[in-house]
């Protein structure tokens, strides 16, 4: 039976968080039950106030083989970080 | 009338305690580990309710020496338990558990919704917390009854058979008894017979949506749990549940 239930990825937004973060995966027969299983498995200790579930098969992921071409070219582009501005002294909370 | 007050609280507490024990048996036996967790969670909610209710029962009883939650849970014998026979029945298959959980959680939902106004402040507090828990139990059972009933030919047949098997144990939930009559008079409790209509309507609604048939009224139905009369199953359950506490009195960790 276990082989017939699809896998779901679970995303939880914490009480103070602004976005949902991936917390793990689980098996469930459909999306509604996945949501409930997620509640039981991943919010047992009040970890969150909102849950998303996504069928794992619906996720398109980058491949480890593509890591070099995907990510390495960004390594030498320091000018993309906002570190070249002079911040006036009386600007707070920046 | 502390005797009737105590008896009423014991009825509520024992329902929760004994069903928690049965639900705990599902760990490692459910169809999926996710369902192990779900049923374990439901059981733990019920155990929490049982602890508060038995503690309160011990306070009201005022025995000398006083009996706390542990004494009441672990050191009473079968005839002193006041749970309905529905919750003590041995674990059947998964469909049986969903049939039992649907009836029991619907009953508890209606019951606690009224107990939030109890004249017994502690009981009202337990009810306020439990309402949300029970709402989830009911949803869980509903989701599964819908899926199994309106699923495959096999799941439909087994869900229907489970409903038939559970049916003789349903009526006892709605039967009035001395402690409940007294508690209802005092504004402390709820008269079980007033719950029959809303509970039955709610469950039958789920069955209809699940394409299941309401079972015929059973020729025999369980009775007597509130007076301490139980089926064979409770003795075995208590032997397992109480054996550590009785073998090592006062043990802690």
- How do residues B80-116 score in pLDDT, each as one tens digit? 999 999 999 999 999 999 999 999 999 999 999 999 9
A16 vs chain B: nearest CA distance in angstroms? 23
Domains and CATH numbers, chain B: 2-247 (1.20.1260.10)
Q: What is the pLDDT of residue A58?
A: 96
Q: Hey, of B34, B135, B145, which one would you mutate to test binding to chain A, going by the most A CBs within 10 A of its CB? A: B34
Give the residue from chain B lying closest to A3, CA to CA.
B32
Q: Is residue A90 part of a domain?
A: no
For residue A84, is it within any domain? no
Beta-sheet pairing, A50-55 with A21-27: unpaired
pLDDT over 90 at B247, yes or no:
yes
Classify the phi-psi angles of A90: left when phi > 0, otherwise alpha if psi is within -120 to 50, otherwise beta: alpha
How many domains are there within chain A?
Answer: 1
In a domain, A35, yes or no: yes
For residue A82, being part of any structural domain is answered with: no
Q: For B31, which of A1, A39, A44 is closest by C-beta distance?
A: A1
Domain limits at A64? 2-77
Q: What is the pLDDT of residues B184-211, one digit of tens each?
A: 999 999 999 999 999 999 999 999 999 9
Percent of chain A with pLDDT over 90: 52
The verdict on residue A92 lying in a domain is no
A88 within domain boundaries: no
Kindly state the tokens that stand for B153.
């030919």
A43 is a domain residue: yes
Q: What is the pLDDT of residue A15?
A: 86
A86 domain residue, yes or no: no
Residue A2 has pLDDT above 80, yes or no: no
Question: How far is residue B72's CA from residue B51's CA, in Å, rounded to a whole number?
Answer: 10
Q: What is the CATH number of the domain that holds A18?
A: 3.10.20.520
Q: Which residue of A29, A30, A41 is in closest CB contact with B37?
A: A41
pLDDT range class, residue B139, cuts 50, 70, 90? very high
Q: What is the mean pLDDT of residues A31-46?
A: 93
Give residue B239's pLDDT.
97
């Amino acid at each position: 039976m276990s082989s017939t239930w699809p896998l779901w990825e679970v995303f939880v937004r914490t009480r103070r968080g602004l976005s949902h973060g991936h917390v793990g995966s689980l098996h469930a027969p459909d999306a509604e039950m996945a949501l409930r299983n997620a509640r039981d498995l991943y919010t047992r200790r009040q970890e969150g106030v909102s849950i998303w579930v996504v069928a794992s098969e619906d996720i398109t992921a980058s491949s480890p083989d593509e890591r070099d071409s995907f990510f390495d070219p960004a390594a030498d582009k320091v000018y993309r970080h906002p570190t070249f501005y002079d911040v006036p002294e009386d600007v707070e909370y920046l | 009338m502390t005797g009737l007050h105590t008896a009423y609280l014991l009825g509520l507490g024992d329902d929760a305690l004994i069903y928690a024990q049965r639900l705990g048996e599902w760990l490692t036996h459910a169809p999926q580990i996710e369902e192990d967790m779900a049923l374990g969670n439901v059981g733990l909610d019920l155990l929490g309710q049982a602890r508060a209710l038995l503690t309160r029962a011990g306070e009201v009883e005022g025995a000398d020496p006083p009996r706390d939650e542990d004494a009441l849970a672990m050191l009473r014998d079968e005839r002193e338990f006041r749970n309905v026979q529905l919750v003590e029945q041995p674990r059947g298959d998964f469909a049986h558990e969903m049939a039992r959980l649907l009836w029991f959680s619907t009953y508890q939902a209606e019951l606690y919704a009224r107990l939030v106004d109890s004249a017994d402040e502690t009981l009202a507090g337990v009810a306020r917390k439990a309402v949300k828990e029970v709402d989830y139990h009911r949803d869980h059972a509903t989701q599964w009854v819908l899926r199994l009933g309106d699923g495959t030919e096999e799941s439909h047949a087994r869900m229907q058979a489970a409903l038939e098997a559970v049916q003789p144990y349903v009526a006892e939930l709605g039967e009035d008894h001395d402690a409940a009559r007294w508690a209802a008079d005092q504004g402390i409790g709820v008269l079980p017979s007033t719950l029959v209509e809303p509970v039955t309507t709610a469950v039958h609604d789920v069955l209809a949506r699940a394409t299941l048939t309401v079972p015929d009224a059973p020729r025999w139905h369980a009775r007597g749990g509130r007076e301490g009369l139980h089926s064979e199953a409770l003795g075995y359950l208590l032997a397992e549940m109480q054996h550590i506490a009785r073998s090592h009195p006062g043990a802690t960790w």
